[in-house]
Structure 1
């Protein structure tokens, strides 16, 4: 019986979506602009990396062809393989917004049934009733922030005041999120998680996609730094998705990275969460060696997004992608006949773009495995085609939406 692996390179968009202008993202192209920036020297950092983007394994699978098909422009530094090693194409997101849950849910074959609620770009941005209830139910002395902000910037700006007052830092972004940052030691990690659970319940009537715990350490003298113990509290995903189909059929699922959080721990099987993308690659290989027939591994690689995309760090983004690419031969060597792997993304976070938010983009699709002939699969009209294809590959009932490209 076949097996499947989904590798989500969080934020690796491949060209602006047709409705990108509605999100302020007309012209965004994470992969294309990254390649161009590296070729021009903007991706250089002494002692870290330099020169053109080096992703030979993704290139051989057909990633350059994907970028050209999606954006209409050939990415600098890529080749035109005569025989691409993957089924290659790109997908258009049908769900509203550019959120991580919306992208993952649609990828699993069940797009969000209705649009998430987004907090307005006002100051304060949260409804008074929401913050008042959070303060009253949790016993915190108040909240700091209450605005749209970059997570790194707002912790640097308000970290000292948080330590002095004990009030957590609450902020949002262009996504449907209520984020709470607090010091792991001074405030307490479990207390932060408990506060987020209260916020999750209070945000439910608004249909806010995620409440996110953002723990950090440090002080005003040495600076503040976020830790890897982030935790997402998402609303439950729509029914009819690939994971639900797998569980009902008795198949094994391994969810790696923040996948369990994104799907609100619904039908996510065994969950593995480590502290970096490379550790999650290790976990993927370990899980693949033990995965039974009919099983699925679903891995999210978040460092591209959180560590580099939102910070508009071109060199860091390029190096992170290059490190992933360098490990692809290990995955290929571990795959067995009948296995199918799919590399895709949930949205963009163009590191050359203005601001610090996600960008509304197409998602690349590279599907490959032993004996899978490479060919173009063209433009897919929904991320849900990925879930539909994996359901077909694993012999499951069709997902709620999507058309198989197999």
Structure 2
């Protein structure tokens, strides 16, 4: 058994611009050309345009010292002003990764960085007055015992719930919606509809959607009432299509290694190869990550996702909130580094972009930063998402996984 451990930490949607095929991806009719989540947040902060939840230039001294600003520059040619970094050579391995899968979504990004580029084109629902065909909606209603469904078109997060929740509470019909991603989402009230019932509905309809190559069915529970307002809860659950071949999680599991999952990783990989799953909001997830760093056994692989950059701030186009979340995460870096053991590899990256300065409300096609602690310092250049899996496999002494090449 190797004495080495590996931790892959995904800052969901924290892209850094520069994707060479960004012109092929859109928010509405606007191509993603020029989108740059980190770069534009830093520029907005430096210009005093992101002072609602925090103040001044974007302050991420720890990740910046490790090479974050250099990664933005390498990926896109853009500057991320300030970041609060000391001047000098980056202290870690740093670079940026380019995705080849034809999607700017959660499964595509996570599967590819785990060694499995998506081999098919995802199914996307049209942005029409009604996005879903009648047979699909009849099946959803039949599975949950209602006479129909609500909304049934493209929509964004809480805006959908705010529009449809009052009628949902009256009639009990589930709220169905989608976005520019390959997703089918069902929102329902935890008390009036029932959390268990919502999750069963999503699990029951998921095989139908997966056959259509829809990437995820997502349960979106909420609580509240008309008088006090409605709020989504932390009990979201994703029902993702299975990866088409063994991922890094499977390879580690097959080699007898323990695999820890933090956040929505268990949902993304349908729990394949995963032994220990810990969930919660991002602050709880940071506690879980620190606990796992204390507890993880030798030779283990830990895969973590911090989703709220994306779900709470990117889709809401909340620049100040996004900046505040980035600063919070960066302030936790000393605690992470303090728990590293000799032989540990910790990689920070992202799965796609979600530029909060961009028009629309959907993800943006971008390169993502790659920062690796525990293997010295230096530029790794522009790498592939699948190179992340290859590097972790090499570090842990695992068999090759996917088409990538180690950058260690």
Query: Shorter-chain-normalised TM-score: which range?
Result: over 0.9
Name the structure 1 match of 2:74.
69
Assess, with a 3 A threshold, how the Cα gap between structure 1 residues 384 and 81 changes in structure 2: closer, same or farther. Answer: farther
Match of 2:42 in 1: 35
Residue deviations 1:62-95 (CA, integer Å, cap 9, x gap):
0000001111111111357423121111111110
2-structure distance, mates of 1:269, 1:95? 27
SS at match of 1:96: coil
In the TM superposition, what is the alpha-carbon distance from 1:137 to its structure 2 partner? Answer: 2.8
Which residue of 2 is the match for residue 195 of structure 1?
A: 201
**3-state SS of paired residue (1:337):** coil
219-228 or 99-108: bigger deviation: 219-228
- CA deviations over 1:39-65 (Å, ceiling 9, x no partner): 1111101xx311000100010000000
What corresponds to 1:329 in structure 2?
A: 334
Corresponding residue number in structure 2 for 1:265: 271
**Are 2:287 and 1:282 equivalent residues in the alignment?**
yes
What are the equivalent positions in structure 2 for 1:134-173 lying under 5 Å apart? 134-173=140-179
Task: Answer whether contact 2:210 2:216 (CA < 8 A) is retained.
Answer: no
Deviates more, 1:119-128 or 1:329-338: 119-128
Q: For residues 273 and 141 of structure 1, what CA distance do their matches in structure 2 show?
A: 34
Q: Does residue 58 of structure 2 align to residue 53 of structure 1?
A: yes
**Partners in 2 of 1:179 and 1:72 — Cα distance?**
36
Count of residue pairs the alignment pairs up:
400
For residues 41 and 331 of structure 1, what CA distance do their matches in structure 2 show? 30
TM-score, normalised relative to structure 1? 0.97
SS at structure 1 position matched to 2:332: helix
Tell me the equivalent position of 1:26: 33
**Which whole-Å CA distance do the structure 2 matches of 1:398 and 1:140 have between them?**
49
- Residue from 374, 382, 403 that aligns with 2:377: 374
Residue 195 of structure 1 and its aligned partner are, at CA, apart by 0.8
Work out whether 1:298 is the aligned partner of 2:300. Answer: no
Distance 1:396 1:317 in 2: 36
Q: Which runs of 5+ in 2 are unaligned?
A: 27-31
**What SS does structure 2 have at the residue aligned with 1:211?**
strand
Q: Which of 87, 97, 102 in structure 2 is aligned with 1:91?
A: 97
How far did 1:16 drift? 3.8
- Secondary structure of the equivalent of 1:266? coil
Residues 132-167 of structure 1, C-alpha deviations (whole Å, 9 max, x = no match)? 122223312211111111011010111101111111
Map 1:116-135; keep pairs closer than 5 Å: 116-135=122-141
Does the Cα contact within 8 Å between 2:144 and 2:197 map onto a contact in 1?
A: no
Distance in 1 separating the partners of 2:89 and 2:337:
17
Cα shift at 1:385 = 0.5
**Does 1:103 find its partner at 2:106?**
no
CA contact (8 A) 1:66 1:88 kept: yes
Does residue 315 (structure 1) correspond to residue 320 (structure 2)? The answer is yes
Determine which of 212, 216, 237 is the counterpart of 2:218. 212
Please list the CA deviations of residues 275-322 of structure 1 after superposition, one character each: whole Å capped at 9, or x if unmatched.
Answer: x21211110111111111110111100011111111011111011110
Q: Aligned-pair distance for 1:240?
A: 2.9
SS of equivalent residue, structure 1 residue 400: coil
C-alpha distance in structure 1 between counterparts of 2:101 and 2:63, whole Å: 27
- Name the counterpart of 1:232: 238
Question: Which residue of 241, 246, 267 maps to 2:247?
Answer: 241
- Which residue does 2:29 correspond to in 1? none
Q: Contact 2:50–2:323 (CA<8 Å) still a contact in 1?
A: yes
Q: Distance in 1 between matches of 2:398 and 2:291?
A: 25
Whole-Å separation in 1 of the counterparts to 2:22 and 2:202? 31
Task: State whether residues 389 and 402 of structure 2, in contact with CA within 8 Å, keep that contact through their aligned partners in structure 1.
Answer: no
1-structure distance, mates of 2:20, 2:5:
34
Contact 2:12 2:350 in 1 (8 A): yes
Distance 1:285 1:13 in 2: 24
SS of residue in 2 equivalent to 1:293: coil
Q: Which runs of 5+ in 1 are unaligned?
A: none
In the alignment, the residues of structure 1 paired with residue 191 and residue 385 of structure 2 have an alpha-carbon distance, to the nearest angstrom, of 40
Moved over 2 A (4+): 78-83
**Distance in 1 between the 2:357 and 2:68 partners?**
19
Taking the aligned partners of 1:73 and 1:88, their CA distance within structure 2 comes to 16
Looking at structure 1, the residues matched to 362 and 86 of structure 2 have their Cα atoms a distance apart, in angstroms, of 32
